[in-house]
Amino acid sequence: MLVENCVSENHAGLGLHPGSGSQRPIIRNCRLEGNDIGIFFCWGVKYGLAENNKLIGNRVGVSIGHRDTDNLVTSNEILGSRQVGVLFRPERGKDFAGHRNRIENNRIVDSGSTNGVAIDVQGATEAVVLSGNVILETRAPADRVAVRLGAETKSIQVQSNQITGFAAAVKQLHESAPR
């Protein structure tokens, strides 16, 4: 699947949706604006490429999860996401998480409300690389976090990112103590 130079805007659902089992989808030079989710990697999307896109004012810029592996999200502008810029969904445990994905050289600006998160890695997601991104908050830091790592995540590499304006650059959540 190749989607190039397209516009998808103001959808109550998904801007672009590489569907279940998509292999090597390419989303390039598109504008995805005002949707619920800009790019939604569906079940089992592998070896996909999302590059040079503008994702503006979506609730979630990019969503990755259910067995979505080995995808590259690079050189995109993810601006003014209403909740989170890039979301790794929690799914149903390690076997269903989105592993070995790379988020590289993106510009992620002003994500969420006062407790917004630019990149939120949830669930038992493993072996993700977050590298070379410019993650910027131009409003007050409030309770905003640039990169939030869930308690069950493992081997998440956060390297060579330029992070500015957040209350916390990287926040690692910890498992709750048993009651």
**Residue 175 confidence (pLDDT):** 76
- Closest of 176, 85, 88 to residue 137, by C-alpha: 85
Q: Do 124 and 93 contact (CB within 8 A), yes or no?
A: yes
Q: Tell me the pLDDT tens digit for each residue of 6-65.
A: 999 999 999 999 988 899 999 999 999 999 999 999 999 999 999 999 999 999 999 999
> Please, what are the domains in the chain?
2-172 (2.160.20.10)
Q: Tell me the pLDDT tens digit for each residue of 69-105.
A: 999 999 999 999 999 999 999 998 899 999 999 999 9
- Compute how many other C-beta atoms are within 10 angstroms of the C-beta atom of residue 115: 11
Cα 165 off chain centre by: 19
109 pLDDT above the threshold of 90: yes
Question: Residue 73 contacts by C-beta under 8 Å, 6 or more apart in sequence?
Answer: 39, 50, 51, 62, 64, 86, 101, 102, 103, 104, 106
- Compute how many other C-beta atoms are within 10 angstroms of the C-beta atom of residue 174: 7
Q: Tell me the pLDDT tens digit for each residue of 131-152.
A: 999 999 999 999 999 999 999 9
**Residue 2 confidence (pLDDT):** 95
**Residue 61 confidence (pLDDT):** 98
**Residue 176 confidence (pLDDT):** 62
Question: Residue 103 contacts by C-beta under 8 Å, 6 or more apart in sequence?
Answer: 62, 73, 74, 86, 119, 128, 129, 130, 131, 133
Q: Do 46 and 23 contact (CB within 8 A), yes or no?
A: yes
**Residue 126 confidence (pLDDT):** 97
pLDDT band at 166 (very low <50, low <70, confident <90, very high): very high
pLDDT band at 178 (very low <50, low <70, confident <90, very high): low
Note if the pTM is more than 0.85.
yes
Q: What is the mean pLDDT of residues 156-175?
A: 96
Q: What is the mean pLDDT of residues 148-174?
A: 97
**Residue 21 confidence (pLDDT):** 86
